[in-house]
Structure 1
Amino acid sequence: MRLAVCAEMVFTGLPFTERVRLISEAGFDVELWDSRTKDIRALKATGAEFSSMTGYTAGSLVDPDTADDVVRTAEALVPTALELGVKRMVVHSAELIDGKAARPAYRSTGSMWITGARTLERLGALGEKHGLTFCLENLNTVLDHPGIPLARAKDTLTLVEAAGHPNVKLMLDLYHAQLGEGNLIELVRSALPHIGEIQVADVPGRCEPGTGEVNYAAVARALAAAGYDGTVGMEAYASGDDGAALEAFRRAFTVPGPVTAPGPDSTPVSAGATL
């Protein structure tokens, strides 16, 4: 498994390209948000491995009136993703402006479900064409993103399942899931076949693992035992020193093994493996 760090949230006193360089030199892949504000040539020159980036800039995939905008802007971002070697493009079930719902909706409808699944199918076809995966991220509506319909992990999982396309997966954010739903270990087990990437931050505070209530070491052991071999990204602020926050994240997702997979023929999965 690979570890990634969101460059938008750490080393925030430095220019963005320098943040990317420091994260990469520390041995992590890099996540970024809106690539339109970035110097793509400079980012590529750092030699960093880019895990994910925001995959659309307008529209809501569950809104029949604006779903075309999601696909249109996703297609416009594909060249940047290919240039940086990004593997996953992140989408949400609504249009976000500074993290807030552009058009808040507090009730889901049948039209939203149908439109969401169909839009994800279209994104899947776009991803298949270019070798990319579109990942639908769950969000919490309790604190950070009120008014986002179909945002809970169980809803995003259902939409991904309904789309049924291999280039459509979940960006399973465990910070958001903890705030909205909890029961994280069972959640990752049930969602495992559909996960494209996992993001983490502690609760409360949205800082690195170890600063709040989530037992991320237990989550890491469950992931290893279930055979998860994808990316875990820290989308979190540093509670103090940025370098120390990255190391705390690394420690939380280093399983001291051997880890035994569940089942009648249980065998060690790894020993001292870093997820």
Structure 2
Amino acid sequence: LGDVYKRQVVHSAELIDGHAARPVYRSTGRMWSTGVRTLERLGVLGEKYGVTFCLENLNTVLDHPGIPLARAKDTLALVEAAGHPNVKLMLDLYHAQLGEGNLIELVRTALPHIGEVQVADVPGRCEPGTGEINYAAVAKALADAGYEGTVGMEAWASGDDAEALAAFRAAFTPQDTTTFSTEGTP
């Protein structure tokens, strides 16, 4: 393994304290404090290596039943409690819509802590425009709030891949002078 990968393994082992994965189905105070401490440690490592770590919200309605601290509001609270600029929220709007709704207010509330935004429409987890989420309004809210980071599509194509990507880009093409990062997209 290269040096970068060796460092990642060492740091991962330090962070997980010997518990790589274990199912947990209810949140406890100990879980919360362990999560905060772990994120604080990640923040320090991120600062040292120039990396920002993002914690993603999930939904328990359909895709991740029983997962504690999954809602965007809970995930945001963990990120805020860690209080480190190298620990951010990966705001997954698909999961947030299923679990909470009220996406525009969520964007406004979470903005200072958002490291990346992921999109897929509901239902179906396909590209914007195939479901109930008003992505034009969400994109406007992100722009109005000053978000300049990455917006990524984590979705299935409802048909042709190129058309799905075009729909994603159209949903987040600025209607004014505000721009979003398209870094990493073809």
Answer whether TM exceeds 0.5 for this pair: yes
CA distance in 2, matches of 1:231, 1:68: 31
Distance 2:175 2:86 in 1: 33
Q: 1:104 to 1:114 in 2, by over 3 A?
A: closer
SS in 1 for 2:104: helix
Q: Which residue of 1 aligns with 2:70?
A: 151
Superposition CA RMSD, Å: 2.3
Partner of 1:254: helix, strand, or coil? coil
Task: Judging by fraction of residues, say which structure has more helix.
Answer: 2
Q: Provide the rounded CA distance (Å) in 2 between the counterparts of 1:137 and 1:274.
A: 20
> After the TM superposition, which segments of 4 or more aligned residues of structure 1 sit over 4 Å from their partners?
none
Q: Secondary structure at 2:54's aligned position in 1? A: strand
Asked if the contact 1:140/1:177 (under 8 Å) is kept, the reply is yes
Instruction: From 74, 81, 96, give the equivalent of 1:162.
Output: 81
Q: Where do residues 1-275 of structure 1 align in structure 2 (5 Å cutoff)?
A: 67-69=16-18, 95=21, 102-105=22-25, 107-257=26-176, 270=177, 273=179
Matched position secondary structure for 2:128 = coil
Contact 2:149 2:180 in 1 (8 A): no
Q: Which one has a larger percent strand, Structure 1 or Structure 2?
A: 1
Provide the rounded CA distance (Å) in 2 between the counterparts of 1:130 and 1:108.
Answer: 31
Partner Cα separation in structure 2 for residue 155 and residue 187 of structure 1: 12
Alpha-carbon separation, structure 1, partners of 2:115 and 2:87: 8
Gaps of 5+ in 2: 1-7, 182-186
Over the matched positions of the two proteins, sequence identity in percent amounts to 77
> Structure 1 residues 274, 150: CA separation in 2 closer, same or farther (over 3 Å shift)?
closer
Letter in 2 for 1:140: N
Aligned residues: 172
TM-score, normalised by the number of residues in structure 2: 0.86
**What is the CA-CA distance between 1:125 and the residue it aligns to?**
1.0
| Residue 108 of structure 1, CA deviation | 1.1
